[in-house]
A and B are shown apart, each in its own frame.
Chain A
Amino acid sequence: MTTSLIPQLSLRFIPVWRRNLLVWRKIMVPSILGNFGEPVLYLLAFGYGFGQLVGDLGDLPYMVFLASGIICSSAMYTASFEGMYSAYTRMSEQKTWDGLLGAPLNLDDIVLGEIIWAATKALMSAAAILVVATLLGLVSDPRALLALPVILLAGFTFAACAMIVTALSRSYDFFLYYFTLAITPMLLLSGVFFPLEQLPDMIVILAHLLPLVHVVEVVRPLMIGEWPTHVLLHLGVVAAYGGGALSLSTWLLRRRLMC
């Protein structure tokens, strides 16, 4: 039971997911305001402030470029925060998971439920950005809607990676290492704020070993009304990270909690 590396996938993740949704509903208003407020601030501050200096990237206004990048990085941050701080709180401080384990649920159901919940929050944040970007006139092609399922997958992957960190963590302080050593470099090296081609080849190759750049390379064309290329390859990398991280985090958490 503890030894299998393959997590048990079951629809029993739904009650766990629904529990988190019910709690979220209590703080829905500030949460939604945050979802809208943050991208507005980023787009206006960076877009106008920075965009004046940068001008257009090819025939792409900087604001449009930035909006299609931020929708990806915001999904990464939302899913990572939820998978670390919030999930860790429920596991360790609040003992919510212990309560769930008293019900007919397995740890695998809980881990999957938490990850899908974090992906859902990433999706909500991305949807808010899409609305803001549309209102600001940065998005006009309906293909942009196709970015949302990609974001859901990305949210799953980043949440699953965060869950590995949660499984290894003994306190909240540990999460800072992951942010400093993984999330921030990924944010800077994935073409969110500037085109990746600006960087040396070596770094571009390294960046492609990480998942975020693949998300950006599918989402950005969709946001600006083009069809992305190498879709299967990009999504394959993201999904492989997601599947691998789900397995590893479930295995680590079983070792930590079911001992």
Chain B
Amino acid sequence: MDTVALTNDFTAQAAGEPHIARACGLLKRYDGETVVDHIDLEVRPGECFGLLGPNGAGKTTTLRMMLGLTPPDGGTLHVLGEPIPARAREARLRLGIVPQFDNLDPDFTVRENLTTYAGYFGLKGAARRQRVDELMAFANLGQRENLGIEALSGGMKRRLTLARALINHPELVVLDEPTTGLDPQARHHIWQCLRGLKQQGTTLILTTHYMEEAERLCDRLAIMDRGRIVAQESPQALIAQHIDPHVLEINGNAAMRWLDGQADDLPARAHRVGDMALLYCHEAAPVLERLERAGLRYLHRPANLEDVFMKLTGHELRD
């Protein structure tokens, strides 16, 4: 008995800070190709954790492994204290999922979608009715409750999918590209919902390739590229660590000729992409002066997450 208690204590200490999800050396291969390459990540209680990366970086595969829908080929994984995939079903009892592509049940109406889903979690009778009423209000689909799913717009479907994910009062909500394909109004509405959830203490894990979404919502981010995590920090820390604070964007043939003509003493790091260039600098004034003197048009803006992302993952197209 004592030995067991001691071992447990030891494990808890070794784990350090409390975490909602933790992956160590997580590995996934498909047909000999490594899709997720020994990644380590940790999600802390109450935070919004973002998983960023170009298409094919391994974000969705990582999420699927965390949900127990894809068995890892190596490493260890715990979500809500449950070992995954061994006890993934038990973990799913306490979390909510918003998948990349809506999988609402087309055989049911809006309201029935929530009612039947509540049934899968064992909710019954009055408690179920009350929860469904709450979520109908949350999704703001009151007048449409008896319509079929096909009658809903993309934004409405997302709202319903998010509402469905909350049916069990989850401690953790996992969202795979929650706002892809939505119009700006619908996106803002989803962001508002997610901020509301965070305020209630719900932990969020989301993947996105919208940098502004990550910058707005996420407390910490992991940037993934080719199956590896290339950085894991808060958005502000990532920007401060990886990039100079000022960015000057120039484009056109004249600007490129000017850039070629600059000696090595240009107090900026230049990054060329086709006929445009990004000048990253610690102080803008000296560079601005040179640009003004050359009579070039430019755009001066603060460095953002997209700059970090492009620096870390490269500028070439990914398919």
Chain A residue numbers with a CB within 8 Å of B99 are 98, 102
Chain B residue numbers with a CB within 8 Å of A96 are 103, 105-107
Chain A residue numbers with a CB within 8 Å of B165 are 102
Q: How far is the CB of B91 from chain A (nearest CB, A)?
A: 9
Chain A residue numbers with a CB within 8 Å of B116 are 19, 22
Known A-B contacts A15-B120, A258-B69, A258-B71; the reply to A103 vs B103 at CB < 8 A is no
Q: Is the CB of A95 within 8 A of B103?
A: yes
B20 at the interface (CB under 8 A from A): no
B90 at the interface (CB under 8 A from A): yes
Identify B85's interface contact among A1, A15, A99, CB under 8 A: A1
Q: Is the CB of B105 within 8 A of A104?
A: no
**Using an 8 Å CB-CB cutoff, how does the interface string of A103-124 with B read, 1 for contact, 0 for none?**
1111000000000000000000
Q: How far is the CB of B172 from chain A (nearest CB, A)?
A: 13
Q: How far is the CB of A138 from chain B (nearest CB, A)?
A: 36
Complex Cα–Cα for A115 and B89 (A):
21
The closest CB in chain A to the CB of B149 belongs to A94
Known A-B contacts A2-B71, A98-B99; the reply to A103 vs B107 at CB < 8 A is no
The closest CB in chain A to the CB of B106 belongs to A94
The closest CB in chain A to the CB of B109 belongs to A26
Report whether over half of chain B's contact residues are helix, strand or loop; otherwise say mixed: loop
**Using an 8 Å CB-CB cutoff, how does the interface string of B53-97 with A read, 1 for contact, 0 for none?**
000000000000001011100000000000001100110110001
A181 at the interface (CB under 8 A from B): no
Complex Cα–Cα for A223 and B116 (A):
39
Q: How far is the CB of B28 from chain A (nearest CB, A)?
A: 10
Q: How far is the CB of B263 from chain A (nearest CB, A)?
A: 55
The closest CB in chain B to the CB of A26 belongs to B107
Q: Is the CB of B71 within 8 A of A23?
A: no
B210 at the interface (CB under 8 A from A): no
Q: Is the CB of B69 within 8 A of A104?
A: no
Q: Is the CB of A99 within 8 A of B104?
A: yes
Complex Cα–Cα for A2 and B90 (A):
18
Complex Cα–Cα for A1 and B83 (A):
13
The closest CB in chain A to the CB of B102 belongs to A95
Chain A residue numbers with a CB within 8 Å of B90 are 104
Q: Is the CB of A103 within 8 A of B120?
A: yes
Chain A residue numbers with a CB within 8 Å of B138 are none
Known A-B contacts A1-B71, A2-B71, A258-B69; the reply to A104 vs B107 at CB < 8 A is no
B298 at the interface (CB under 8 A from A): no
B117 at the interface (CB under 8 A from A): yes
The closest CB in chain A to the CB of B167 belongs to A103
Q: Is the CB of A99 within 8 A of B105?
A: yes
Identify B120's interface contact among A1, A2, A22, A100, CB under 8 A: A100
B101 at the interface (CB under 8 A from A): yes
B191 at the interface (CB under 8 A from A): no
- Within residues 66 to 102 of chain A, which ones have a CB less than 8 A from any CB in chain B? 94-96, 98-102
Complex Cα–Cα for A99 and B89 (A):
14
Q: Is the CB of B107 within 8 A of A94?
A: yes
Chain A residue numbers with a CB within 8 Å of B70 are 258-259
- Within residues 1 to 17 of chain A, which ones have a CB less than 8 A from any CB in chain B? 1-2, 15
Chain B residue numbers with a CB within 8 Å of A170 are none
Q: How far is the CB of B184 from chain A (nearest CB, A)?
A: 27
Chain B residue numbers with a CB within 8 Å of A15 are 119-120
**Using an 8 Å CB-CB cutoff, how does the interface string of A189-228 with B read, 1 for contact, 0 for none?**
0000000000000000000000000000000000000000
Known: A22-B108, A102-B67. 14 other contacts (CB 8 A): A1-B86, A18-B119, A23-B108, A94-B107, A95-B101, A99-B103, A99-B104, A100-B120, A102-B103, A104-B90, A104-B92, A104-B93, A258-B71, A259-B70
CB<8 Å pairs between A and B, sample of 25: A1-B86, A19-B105, A19-B116, A23-B107, A94-B103, A94-B105, A94-B106, A95-B103, A96-B103, A96-B105, A96-B107, A98-B99, A98-B103, A99-B103, A99-B104, A99-B105, A100-B120, A102-B97, A102-B99, A103-B120, A104-B89, A104-B93, A104-B120, A104-B121, A259-B70
> A-contacting residues of B (Cβ < 8 Å)?
30, 67, 69-71, 85-86, 89-90, 92-93, 97, 99, 101, 103-108, 112, 116-117, 119-121, 165
